[in-house]
Amino acid sequence: MTRNRDPQMNFTNGLFQKVEISKMLNEMAGIAQYLWEKGWAEGSAGNFSINVTGMFSDTERDSLSSNPVIPLSGKYPDLARALFLISGTGTRMREMADNPMGYVCFVYVGESGSDYHLIAGNQDEGSVKPTSELATHLGIQQLLIQQKSTAKVVLHAHVTELIALTQLPAFKTEEAINSLFWSMHPETMLFVPEGIGFIPYTIPGTETIARATLQELGRHKAIIWEKHGCIAVGANLAEAFDILDILAKSAKIYFLCKSTGIDPEGLSAAQTETLRTYYSGLSRGN
């Protein structure tokens, strides 16, 4: 394929001017503020990626290949020529809330799926680099494409209430943690009927955590990294945030009850199953 290297035709400056992208920047600012207020984004914690490929024509995206090329540690053939808006590594969500464009970058995956072109949000190229969890984000984004999912967003946050649960020996399995969610807050069954995937502690930012996450995300739309945080996918940032929020609420109810010195009753296994049947009927339009 011929690449457009004519600077006159370079689309880099136009990326952020797209109406869809500026709307997205507003949404990012709002979610970044929520993450900060919830206490789920201490320091530079948390990151996200958004597949924005469909918002640009092939020609527009191809013109981005004049930007610096950076090799990827893995190969993502199904992401060839896909374009992502990704939070910068080291980004403070509280700062992103005020200036989203200053803390994001575009990642345009090359044709081989093994490198990408970087376009920084503040136009000072090189100053904003994608999240250190890039391998996990691209792996999940590729999986979403393979699954023909409507989800375009991957959101990672340090959800305090969920991390705290993984510090308790009783909740170190997928089964135990999901039973707790469903029994503490019935609507968890509506939002996350398949439950959350559980990944035992692994060093953040590695290929290992990316691979383990991918295995779980085949069956779940949210996963928890033991003693670290969570990942959720959704059609947009708000949808991914909602999943984390409802799970956190469930965990919070548990901790609040425990803080009284009394074990919460929870729903019984039979009540949970009745709820599952009821909600699955609703989602089929019965």
Q: Which does 91 bind (CB under 5 to 8 A by kind): Zn ion, ligand 13P, none?
A: ligand 13P
Residue 54: half-sphere exposure toward Cβ, Cα within 13 Å: 6
Nearest approach, Cβ of residue 270 and ligand 13P (Å):
39
Candidates 89, 114, 202, 206: give the one binding ligand 13P (CB under 6 A).
89
CA distances 96 to 22, 45, 279, Å, are 14, 12, 37
Candidates 61-69, 143-151, 225-233, 261-269 — which segment interacts with Zn ion by CB under 5 A? 225-233
Does position 229 interact with Zn ion (CB under 5 A)? The reply is: yes
Candidates 9-17, 34-42, 104-112, 226-234 — which segment interacts with Zn ion by CB under 5 A? 226-234
Helix (H) or strand (E) holding 238: helix 237-259
Candidates 36, 40, 47, 65: give the one binding ligand 13P (CB under 6 A).
47
Nearest approach, Cβ of residue 86 and ligand 13P (Å):
9
Estimate to the nearest angstrom the gap between the alpha carbon of 59 and the chain centroid. Answer: 28
The residue behind tokens 């039973």 is 179
Query: Hey, is 129 helix, strand or coil?
Result: coil
Nearest approach, Cβ of residue 48 and ligand 13P (Å):
9
The single residue of 20, 133, 187, 207 carrying the catalytic annotation is 133
Nearest residue (beta carbon) to Zn ion = 229
Q: What angle do CA 124, 133, 216 make, to 5 degrees?
A: 150
**What's the one-letter identity of residue 205?**
G
Candidates 50-58, 110-118, 128-136, 261-269 — which segment interacts with ligand 13P by CB under 6 A? 128-136
* Catalytic residue list contains 273: no
**What's the one-letter identity of residue 13?**
N
Q: Which is nearer to Zn ion, 35 or 144 (CB)?
A: 35
Site track for ligand 13P across 191-230, x = CB under 6 A: -------------x--------------------------
Q: Which is nearer to ligand 13P, 28 or 45 (CB)?
A: 45
DSSP 71-122: E-SS--GGGTT-EEEEEBTT--HHHHTT-GGGGEEEEEE-TTSSEEEEEETT
Cα 52 from Cα 74, distance rounded (Å)? 21
Q: What angle do CA 37, 40, 43 make, to 5 degrees?
A: 95
Candidates 132, 149, 206, 236: give the one binding ligand 13P (CB under 6 A).
132
Query: Hey, is 156 helix, strand or coil?
Result: strand
Note the residues at the interface with Zn ion (CB under 5 A).
229
Enzyme catalytic residues: 133
Note the residues at the interface with ligand 13P (CB under 6 A).
44-47, 87, 89-91, 131-133, 156, 204
